[in-house]
């Protein structure tokens, strides 16, 4: 009986220690990548403003061609929603909504993941013109892991997990638009 009590106390102590450590871990993360496309800013914006077009260059959409998609509202306007549902664990289920548009400059999105985990994150696409015939597109993604889940930030590298997919998606966008 004493051994069981000691094991129980040790387990409670470990759990308490982990919860205390989680109090001091920043759960915020922000990742962005960019690509320069040999097209005018107007041409690039006229393409990326349509959320449906993300399915043509996003790595996540290309991961499961059988994914179910649903669209609500008028594309390229605030409030438009693109929802997806996939059995593929990397794709899952969720929806992305356009929350703000600065015409010709930036589009902001709210992304609600439903499975494999529940979370709300934010993304954006921002455009700059280094010249009249080129456009730099920056695709950013940010979120926050809430306490006590922020403890996973000790073992998860969000940059390593998300950045390659953002960059590959931007490379796909570049190839698509420069054809």
Kindly report, residue by residue over 24-68, the tens digit of the pLDDT.
999 999 999 999 999 999 999 999 999 999 999 999 888 998 999
pLDDT for residue 4 = 92
DSSP 8-state secondary structure symbol assigned to residue 145: P
Label residue 126 by pLDDT band (50, 70, 90): very high
* Residue 162 pLDDT greater than 90, yes or no: yes
User: What integer pLDDT is reported at residue 133 of this predicted model?
Assistant: 95
**73 φ/ψ sector (left φ>0, alpha ψ -120 to 50, else beta):** left
Q: SS3 of 153, please?
A: helix
CB half-sphere exposure, 71, CA atoms < 13 A: 13
- Alpha helix stretches (DSSP H) within the chain: 2-22, 41-48, 54-57, 59-63, 158-178
pLDDT band (50, 70, 90) for residue 155 = confident
% residues pLDDT > 70 (the chain): 99
**How many Å apart are CA 138 and CA 52, to the nearest integer?**
18
| Torsion sign across C-alpha atoms 77, 83, 88, 89 | positive
Specify the pLDDT at position 60: 87
Whether domain 2-178 has CATH 3.30.530.20: the reply is yes
Residue 77 near residue 98, CB atoms below 8 Å: yes
- Please give the average per-residue pLDDT across 148-171, as a whole number: 91
Per-residue pLDDT at 121 exceeds 90: yes
Statement: residue 129 has pLDDT above 90:
yes
* Mean pLDDT, the chain, whole residue set: 94
Confidence band (pLDDT; 50, 70, 90) for 179?
Answer: very high
Give me the mean pLDDT over the 143-168 stretch: 90
Contact 45, 136 (CB under 8 A): no
Tokens standing for residue 124: 């954006």
Closest by Cα among 62, 68, 70, 111 to 90: 62
Give the residue-averaged pLDDT of 106-132.
Answer: 95
**Looking at the predicted structure, is the pLDDT value of residue 144 above 80?**
yes
Confidence grade of residue 149 (pLDDT, cut at 50, 70, 90): confident
pLDDT band for position 158 (cuts 50, 70, 90): confident
């Amino acid at each position: 009986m004493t051994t069981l009590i000691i094991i129980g106390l040790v387990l409670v102590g470990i759990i308490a220690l982990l919860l205390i450590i989680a109090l001091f871990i920043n759960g915020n993360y922000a990742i962005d990548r960019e690509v320069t496309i040999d097209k005018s800013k107007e041409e690039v914006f006229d393409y990326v403003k349509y959320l449906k077009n993300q399915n043509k260059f996003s790595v996540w959409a290309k991961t499961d061609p059988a994914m179910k998609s649903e669209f609500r509202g008028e594309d390229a306007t605030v409030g438009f929603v693109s929802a997806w549902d996939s059995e593929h664990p990397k794709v899952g289920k969720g929806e992305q909504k356009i929350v703000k548009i600065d015409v010709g400059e930036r589009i902001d999105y709210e992304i609600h993941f439903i499975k494999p985990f529940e979370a709300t994150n934010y993304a954006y696409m921002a455009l700059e013109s280094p010249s009249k015939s080129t456009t730099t597109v920056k695709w950013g993604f940010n979120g926050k892991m809430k306490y006590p889940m922020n403890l996973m930030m000790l073992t998860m590298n969000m940059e390593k997990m998300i950045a390659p997919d953002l960059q590959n998606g931007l490379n796909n966008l570049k190839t698509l638009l420069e054809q």
